[in-house]
């Protein structure tokens, strides 16, 4: 199961996410749930980097693990929009694949 944890500042601003695990929906290379989560995570990280020009506290991409944490001084309306978009997309995917994705909030 993929576990997605959202991270917030002390004043409840979105600042990033951590994704762990595998969807186990289908064999490797055919898992549409894993592909959807991974491609959306990479897309939002690239957008935060190239469009919002943020500084990151952490960007990690490994087998079964992705983490993206934006430096608090870089948080603004663009980062809010991009991270909210990511949350909404993950919620939409989870709606159809509840047995494969668990969303946590920190």
pLDDT tens digit sequence for 38-50? 999 999 999 999 9
- pLDDT score of 29: 87
Distance CA 104, CA 106 (A): 7
Residues with Cβ within 8 Å of 101's Cβ and at least 6 positions away in sequence, in order, are 1, 2, 3, 4, 23, 33, 37, 90, 93, 94
Show the domains of the chain with their CATH numbers: 2-103 (3.30.70.1490)
What would the pLDDT profile of 65-75 be if each residue is shown by its tens digit? Answer: 999 999 999 99
- Residues recorded for the chain: 106
């Amino acid at each position: 199961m993929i576990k997605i944890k959202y991270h917030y500042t002390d004043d409840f601003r979105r600042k990033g996410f951590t994704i762990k695990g595998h969807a186990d929906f289908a064999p490797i290379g055919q898992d549409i749930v894993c592909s959807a989560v991974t491609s959306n995570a990479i897309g939002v990280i690239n957008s935060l980097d190239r469009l919002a020009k943020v500084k990151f506290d952490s960007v990690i991409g490994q087998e079964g693990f992705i983490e993206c944490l934006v430096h608090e001084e870089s948080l603004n309306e663009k980062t809010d929009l991009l991270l909210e978009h990511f949350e909404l997309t993950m919620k939409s995917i989870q709606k159809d694949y509840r047995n494969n994705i668990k969303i946590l909030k920190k």
